[in-house]
Structure 1
Amino acid sequence: MLCVSKRLSLANSTAILAFTVGLVPMNAAFAATAGVAAVHELAPHRAVYDMKLGEMEDQSGIAGLNGRMVYDFSGSACEGYSVNFRFVTEFQNADGGSQVTDLQTTSFEEPQAESYQFLSKTFVDQELVEATRGTARLGQDSRTVELKEPSEKSLDIGREVLFPTEHLLSIMNAAEEGVPFVAADIYDGAETGEKVYATTTVIGAKATSPVKAGSDGPDAPLAGLSYWPVTVAYFDPTDEEGSGELMPVYQLSFWLYENGISGNLKLDYGDFTIQGKMAALELYDEADCSKP
């Protein structure tokens, strides 16, 4: 799965993505707990997605959008997980202007989510406008963050908050158990490293990939695999409306395959959507955690 945490805001023309969650039975729903055990093996891979403007409303102010997303995922449950992510988009507005944003992130998550290191840079028209770097760690009573950029700062984000791959595994575990709803708070270093997002995830019925065996398309390695249709809504707990009701910052829908790869992406920002179609997929060799 595209594991990424993340956000797109026209206010600063920045894009990020995040796929992750957590669970513990609570009637028909699940709530997040730290240190979720891995049931699934995540396939190391490099996936490329072509991004284009989907549905939009007049007030969006967008005349066009196109871009490309590259998601490089490697590692294992015994080694930890590394992610290299890049999302380049070109926006055209109704006045004829355009702007190119380039988001680049790298991260490493230790086994058992003991720590999470991240570096994120955002460029607008090739000019660096934001950089975030830090390390989050699992302590005895809480998870703490040591930021180095944009300024040095220490934060306490609470013990129940999940890191990105930990969140992803929780979604997959819930899907396998037939649990249709998951709630979790996640941290991925977004928003200058000080933001924790609340998420809710709706998981649909398990299905089989429509990709035919022997296909020569970019998603050929997904032939015969099972997947779940998933929608994750991201909320900013500090952004309540006057009614006290939280509205999602955005929603991310995708097909989550049994090996953790994502397809058929859709980012919904309310007055416009972005569609993502797989353009290339390369599978890497998997580490054998059973070997000493």
Structure 2
Amino acid sequence: MIARILVSTLALAASSAAVRAEPAASLAPHRAGYEITLIDDYGVPHGGQVPVAAAGVIAYEFTGSRCDGYASNFRQYTQLQRSEGDPISSDIHAVTFEDGEAKRMRFQIDSTTAGGEPTPIAGSAMRADGGDTTIALSKPSAATMDIGKDILFPTEHVERIIARAKDGGGPMEARVYDGSDTGKKVFQTLTVIGKEAASPSPDADDAPSLGKIRRWPVTVSYFDEKASDAPPEYVLSYDLYENGVSGSLKLDYGSFALSAKLKRLELLPIPTCAK
């Protein structure tokens, strides 16, 4: 599973309760590394501000269990070379914790662009017994807001996608909150889940432990729910494995697209209560 690199009400469960649905997927604690490059044959004409080359890395760690909650530590460094002007670099570091019942989430996101000062976003989100979710931000400034019912946090979203995949796949809508952007944005997402893959895993050369694990092709489009009729802010495509690991990624930003190839995977010990 990847924290949004950027990253719900489901069609599968439009009347989602305030507690995590049962049964849920068993998500594997793991560390993963991805190598970022530009997809050259994207087919969109290059303007002066559109990248002509890209390089970068993603380092991701996911730990925890239903008993203890889930923690993620995500770092992405990307350098984009435009046809005009100097390269632009960005560095994103995101740390999150979600409790095992998907009622609370804490997050700290620090992002830096072109070597400037870090831009911090920090806060928490809590789902009340009635289903309403409230955000409390501490950075960049204190603020609270109610984002309504039927919100999914990132780990819960992945669990629901896996459950839908096992049930035959197809389209699935969800409202997702992950603390990114300004910390106040809710994404309306549309996930399209394909049939279970039968061919050998393309990730198995660099991550042999994925060779015999079930997987499904997944495409997730992220929309700003306040921008009606607007195209998605980005589209994320990848193979999602039954244990929650994300295979190599394609990130489509509309005017250009990046590839993030899975280069390293370490499966970590499973906590006792999750076995």
Contact 1:237 1:246 in 2 (8 A): no
Name the residue aligned to 1:238.
226
Distance (whole Å) between structure 2 residues aligned to residue 100 and residue 24 of structure 1: 38
Task: Please show how residues 226-265 of structure 1 align to structure 2 within 5 Å.
Answer: 226-240=214-228, 245-265=229-249
Runs (5+) with no aligned partner, structure 1: 6-15
Distance (whole Å) between structure 1 residues aligned to residue 193 and residue 152 of structure 2: 18
Name the residue aligned to 1:67.
56
Structure 1 position 207, deviation (Å):
1.4
Q: Does 1:42 align with 2:27?
A: yes
Question: Which residue of 277, 288, 291 maps to 2:261?
Answer: 277
Count of residue pairs the alignment pairs up = 267
Name the residue aligned to 1:267.
251
Name the residue aligned to 2:90.
101
Structure 1 position 130, deviation (Å):
1.3
Q: Does 1:181 align with 2:171?
A: yes
Runs (5+) with no aligned partner, structure 2: none
Name the residue aligned to 1:23.
10
- SS of the residue 1:253 aligns to: strand
Structure 1 position 38, deviation (Å):
4.4
Task: Please show how residues 81-120 of structure 1 align to structure 2 within 5 Å.
Answer: 81-120=70-109
Name the residue aligned to 2:144.
154
Name the residue aligned to 1:11.
none
Name the residue aligned to 1:13.
none
Distance (whole Å) between structure 1 residues aligned to residue 243 and residue 251 of structure 2: 22
Structure 1 position 23, deviation (Å):
3.2
Q: Does 1:166 align with 2:156?
A: yes
Letter of the structure 2 residue corresponding to residue 31 of structure 1: A
Letter of the structure 2 residue corresponding to residue 220 of structure 1: P
Per the alignment, do residues 209 and 50 of structure 1 end up closer, same or farther by CA in structure 2, a change over 3 Å counting? farther
Structure 1 position 218, deviation (Å):
2.3
Per the alignment, do residues 231 and 265 of structure 1 end up closer, same or farther by CA in structure 2, a change over 3 Å counting? same
Task: Please show how residues 203-242 of structure 1 align to structure 2 within 5 Å.
Answer: 203-208=193-198, 210-211=200-201, 217-240=205-228
Letter of the structure 1 residue corresponding to residue 223 of structure 2: F
Contact 1:63 1:93 in 2 (8 A): yes
Per the alignment, do residues 32 and 151 of structure 1 end up closer, same or farther by CA in structure 2, a change over 3 Å counting? farther
- SS of the residue 1:210 aligns to: coil
Structure 1 position 162, deviation (Å):
0.7
Distance (whole Å) between structure 2 residues aligned to residue 50 and residue 255 of structure 1: 16
Contact 2:11 2:174 in 1 (8 A): no
Letter of the structure 1 residue corresponding to residue 170 of structure 2: P
Name the residue aligned to 2:186.
196
Per the alignment, do residues 226 and 115 of structure 1 end up closer, same or farther by CA in structure 2, a change over 3 Å counting? same
- SS of the residue 1:86 aligns to: strand
1:188-246: CA deviation from partner (whole Å, max 9, x where unpaired): 0012210000000000010146249xx7x421110111100000001012223xxxx23
Per the alignment, do residues 168 and 22 of structure 1 end up closer, same or farther by CA in structure 2, a change over 3 Å counting? farther
- Compute the RMSD of aligned alpha carbons: 1.9
Contact 1:22 1:170 in 2 (8 A): no
Per the alignment, do residues 38 and 118 of structure 1 end up closer, same or farther by CA in structure 2, a change over 3 Å counting? farther
Structure 1 position 36, deviation (Å):
2.6
1:136-181: CA deviation from partner (whole Å, max 9, x where unpaired): 0111331111100011001101121111101110101111111311
- TM-score when normalising by structure 2: 0.91
- SS of the residue 1:289 aligns to: helix
Structure 1 position 85, deviation (Å):
0.1
Contact 1:209 1:224 in 2 (8 A): no
Per the alignment, do residues 22 and 207 of structure 1 end up closer, same or farther by CA in structure 2, a change over 3 Å counting? farther
Structure 1 position 113, deviation (Å):
0.6
Distance (whole Å) between structure 1 residues aligned to residue 247 and residue 80 of structure 2: 23
- SS of the residue 1:167 aligns to: helix
Per the alignment, do residues 136 and 38 of structure 1 end up closer, same or farther by CA in structure 2, a change over 3 Å counting? farther
- SS of the residue 2:27 aligns to: coil
1:70-114: CA deviation from partner (whole Å, max 9, x where unpaired): 111000111110000000001111124112110000000001112
